Amino acid sequence: MAGLAYRALRTRREVEPRQLPHAELTAVEDIGRVASAAIWFVLGGVLALDLATGLNWIVLLYAVLALTLLRMVPVAIALLGTSTNWPERLSIGVLGPRGPASIVFGLLAYNVLRDDQADLVLSITVVVVAASAVLHGVFAPGIAASLLGRKRHLDTNQG
């Protein structure tokens, strides 16, 4: 978003907008990286606090549901009518990322809810995002290799 805003402001007086030199865009990239690092830093701090005070079973249950059913069912429905097969749909649903966008939405909810509800939403957001990062790191390479191997096998048998 910062890059789009910078280009619009930087080229607004030009009749025909031109490409911006890469050197001008490095600041925008750096700002994006720092903002992302700050978000992950806050997430880590809140996760440490949650783990130190103990996790509620509701948080853990919702995290499991969010990383499985609540993610996979909508993805499977969205992919109906496409050329993806069921193993691919399942993989997309399982590997759907939970990252900065989830953190931002969780923080927005945190700011408008009552204290007890806000704390619950923040805990759920943090646990889901952290668990997603760990699970993706552990399982994504194997799932991707399995899908690529299956695709190569199908391509070899058909061709």
Domain of 135? 55-158
50 domain-assigned:
no
Residue 22 shares a structural domain with residue 67: no
pLDDT at residue 17 in the model? 61
Q: Are 95 and 153 in the same domain?
A: yes
- Average pLDDT across the chain, whole number: 81
Site of tokens 């030009």: 14
Q: How many domains does the chain have?
A: 2
**Cut 0.75: pTM above it:** no
Q: Which tokens hold the place of 85?
A: 């097969």
Give dist(CA 4, CA 12) in Å, integer. Answer: 12
59, part of any domain: yes
Q: What is the mean pLDDT of residues 42-63?
A: 87
Residue 157 pLDDT exceeds 90 = no
